[in-house]
Amino acid sequence: MKFVEGHTVGIDLGTSYSVVARLDEDGEATVLENAQGRLVTPSIVILADDGLVIVGPSQERVVKEQPDRVVTAIKRKMGDASFELYHEKRRLTPELISSMILTKLRQDAEKHVKPVTNAVITVPHYFNEPKRQATRHAGRIAGLNVIDIINEPTAATLAYAWQKGELGNPDLPGKERTVLVYDLGGGTFDVTIVRYTPTQFTVLATDGDTMLGGIDWTERLADHVARKFEEKFGLDPRTEPMAKKNLLIEAESAKRELSLWEKSTVTLTFRGQTLELEVNRTTFEDLTHDLLQRTQDTTEFTIDHTGVDPRKLDTVLLVGGSSTMPAVAAMLEKLTGKPPSRELNPQTAVAQGAAIHAAILEAKHGSSSSESVRSLERRLRNVSTTDVNSHSLGVEITDRNDPNIKLNHVMIPRNSRLPVRKLQRFQTTSHAPQSIHVRLLEGEATEVSSCTFIGDFRLVGLPQDLPKGSPVEIIYTYDARGHIHVSLKEVTGNHQCVVEIAWSHGLDETAIDALTRLAADYRVE
């Protein structure tokens, strides 16, 4: 980890909204307002003409734009090598589009502190490794030195403990607190259980869904309105891109109103026909009951995995803008027996926690030029964290009963406490192999096709006439920073090789440099 001269911030790069924060001179995790004077910036990109990019536009501006120029929810595409979007004869990747959002955040932050050079960026705990690496790349393309990636629920818990004056305070008794963090954002969902004292944070378990978030609640309401429109006028507004975009905007607005009031009205005009539809909260909750149930099932599974009695949780934290829906709090209170805490701002807590984590790293590495961090160094250095892996790590093996079938053999189960090291012995499947090919997988499924392929390597120079069934040893290591190392040893001839995973579908240095040059051609406003 290397810091460069300048200020360090924490960034919540969200599906719907993004936030930037820093630890100020008074030890407060302060959210830095954007150029419009707001704490949150919509994670929306409008691709205008001649290299102009508008990040975080107003809703009025989005309504006027052609749908093919508006990019939303790009976070859901991170790490997806198949994603393609062309504008002005250029292919834009998720990393490049995300870097535009990060550039806007950096520019706005520099209206308060300058220059902003280092950043901790948050990701959902359930992001797989290609998605995490893509987030790092987006930061680099935006001109940021990404010193770390931190999981959103961990960041929220840091913000909570810091706000209560517990974090890093050596004068407090070392009483353990157990916190459930329910993080329902615009496009992703995480639930994590953290146990902490003033000096030690330990993640006990995590689970989630990177394709479940507030967007899905909005789409359910939009589909309901579209059906009512079709019943009355025989027209489906979802068939035309502009009408569908406006329908989603209206549904999003109504969804937010239903978190505050019992009723809302959606007004939609399409092909000269106008529908005014009143929707009440009960109808909305009926439409989306199965989505909420999915989060409840995941929450119960995670609690069961830890063995924690839900009635003995100290706190239930709500994080993410979509967690403000009343049905969420009601469900969690029924499940745990206590009302969720509303002490944190659900939209800014993650960025604030990232800023605290950044300050902890600065203090421990003696890299800070910030007076605020220097004055708090003793308190910050007291804090250490222990995390778990959110996805299982394994290797591809051949089925003993059918050599044509390949299976995922898990070596490091998910929710293993980091760092972790596992050694296992396998056998060669053919006589006199020229090499041994190891394919590395991430995921829980037995079927290889249902897992994420994260890399491979070969061991060559094997002994001649190595018999079938010869032993080989694989050592999987997952360190505390989330770096994966795998070694392979052929026992008979004592040949071995070691690899650090470089994500096979990610960007190499050449591609990152090319995207950085391409990003320089765009003007972010």
Question: pLDDT tens digit string along 236-292?
Answer: 999 999 999 999 999 999 999 999 999 999 999 999 999 999 999 999 999 999 999
Under-50 pLDDT residues of the chain = 503-504
Distance of alpha carbon 218 from alpha carbon 152, whole angstroms: 22
State the number of CA atoms in the 13 A half-sphere of 329 facing the CB: 13
Residues 248/237, Cβ–Cβ less than 8 Å: no
The pLDDT value given to residue 366 = 74
Buried b (16+ CB within 10 A) or exposed e, 3-42: beebbbbbbbbbbbbbbbbbbbeebebbbbbbeeeebbbb
Q: What is the C-alpha separation between 18 and 238, in angstroms, rounded?
A: 28
On whether the pTM is more than 0.85, the answer is: yes
Instruction: Tell me how far apart the alpha carbons of residues 109 and 105 are, in angstroms, rounded to a whole number.
Output: 6
pLDDT value at position 433? 92
Of residues 118, 95, 104, the one with CA closest to residue 368: 118
pLDDT, position 504: 46
Q: How confident is the model at residue 281, as a pLDDT?
A: 97
Picking from 85, 90, 89, the residue whose alpha carbon sits closest to that of residue 69 is 85
Cα–Cα dist 181/161, whole Å:
13
Q: What is the pLDDT of residue 84?
A: 85
What pLDDT sits at residue 500? Answer: 73
As given in the structure block, the two tokens for residue 205 are: 């378990």
Rounded to whole angstroms, the Cα distance separating 88 from 497 reads: 45
User: Mean pLDDT of all residues in the chain?
Assistant: 92
**Strand extents, DSSP E, 108-229:** 116-123, 145-151, 177-184, 189-196, 200-209
